[in-house]
Structures are given as C-alpha cells and as structure tokens.
Amino acid sequence: MRSNQTLKYVQDMRSNLGQLNRAVYRMTEVLRKMDSFVDASDPDVDVPNSIHAYQSAERARKEFPEDKAMQVAALIHDFGKVLVEFGYPQWTIVGDTYLVGCKFPAEAAVYPDQHARLNPDAAVPELNTPCGIYEAKCGTENWLCSYGHDEYLFQVLSGNKDVHSFPSDLWSIIRFHSLYPWHTGAGSGGAYSHLMKPEDHLLKTRVLKFNEYDLYSKSDDEFRITPELVQYYDGLLDQFFPVPLRW
C-alpha cells in the first residue's frame, strides 16, 4: 500500500472504477458476498465481514432504534470490499487511508518514515508540502484519499443516486471512516485540519461517532446471526436500495 498508493494511482482508480461497469448487484447480494471476505489488515477481527456488518448495524440500532438510515450505514460501510470479487488485492481495498498529493502526516497510523522510503511521491517536492495540490481550507469534498473500499462505496452510492434513497449526508461518513490520521490522529486537531472548511468539523465529529459502531462491535464474541436479524436487515436494504446497483 505504501509503495503503490500514489497520486496518479488514486486518480486512475477513481477514473476506472468510477465507471461502475463491472457488475450489477443488489445490496443483499453484496452482504452475502461479505461472507467470504476476511480483512487481513484488521488486527481486531478475524471473522467474515458479513458478521462484522451485522455487529456494527446492531450497535447503531441499539443506540438509535428509530434511525433506519444510520443502521443501514453501519451495515454497508465495508461493502466496498467487494472489490476483491473483481481481482483487486487487499492492499488497495483495506487499511487506514491518508490523503495523497500532500505531505504524509505524522499522525498516520502507518509509519511515516517507511512511507517516505517506499512511496515515489515522497520524492516529489510539490507533493510534500502541508497543502500540496490542495488549497488551504478547500474542504473534504476536494480531498483525494488513498484508494480503498471507502472511496469505492462512495462512488457506488453517488453514481447510483437516482435509483436509491440512502441519504447523501451519510455517504461522506462512509467515505472517510478509515481516514484515521484525520479523525483519530495525535493532537487535538489530528492531520489535515488546515484543509478543512468550517462545516467539516461536524463531519469529523459524526465520523468519530460512527466509528464507535465499527470498532467497538468487534469484541462481541457472543454475537449470533439469527434468521430474524437477516430478515430485518434485508428488509432495510430493500427499502433504501429497491433495485440493483451498478458496481
């Protein structure tokens, strides 16, 4: 990941995968496909991602029993990992993300010195300033993250917006949930605060809250998927996503 996730790579992936011409799946199909995927980058969970999806959704449901959209967001947040179905390796699907096109942050969970040794962009002066290719306070909508399941699902949701009713304010929460240098980095502001617009502070707060459903559900060893649970969440997926989506 640290060797290959360059600015050009991310731009190419966004362009190629953004065409959404590889498959047509119902969301319930994608949930079943998560049965066969175990995230090798995640030290906290060694079960198929379908189990983690239900765990996350149930944690959101417990706190917000009436907020069906948030429950769905927790359920689907990792669905971009379906990229493995198209032959992509895990290094471009999972793992903590970071911005490309600017200086690699000290707050990153991955080792900054290793990134500097391995990533070709580290030798390009204009890509190694605090702003790099960005304008100060440009806002999260202009950021380019290292490409992974987060960005891919965001592209799927936005590219199919005319055929589903999943609220757009939740798309960015999904998009940035693995951007740990930003929302969970060292220091009071974390990384990239100089690239934020004022309204991005609320988004960061929402991502941090959302990550409670993601991270703190992984230790629930007693969790069981029942037929009633499957029926409930299949119904929610069909409610928000009534037709197949382009992937």
pLDDT digits (tens, 9 = 90+) for 115-137: 888 999 999 999 999 999 999 99
How high is the pLDDT of residue 124?
Answer: 97
**What pTM does this model have?**
0.91
In a domain, 2, yes or no: no
In a domain, 62, yes or no: yes
Please tell me whether residue 245 adopts helix, strand or coil conformation.
strand
Cα separation, 42 vs 94, in Å, equals 8
Range(s) of the domain holding residue 215: 7-246
How many domains would you assign to the chain?
A: 1
In a domain, 33, yes or no: yes
In a domain, 107, yes or no: yes
Per-residue pLDDT of 186-210, as tens digits, reads 544 589 999 999 999 999 999 999 9
How high is the pLDDT of residue 49?
Answer: 73
Report which DSSP code applies to 218. Answer: T
Please tell me whether residue 145 adopts helix, strand or coil conformation.
strand
For residue 24, report the phi and psi dihedrals to the nearest 5 degrees.
Answer: -130, 115
Given a cut of 50, the residues of the chain with pLDDT beneath it are 187-188, 217
In a domain, 1, yes or no: no
In a domain, 219, yes or no: yes
In a domain, 53, yes or no: yes
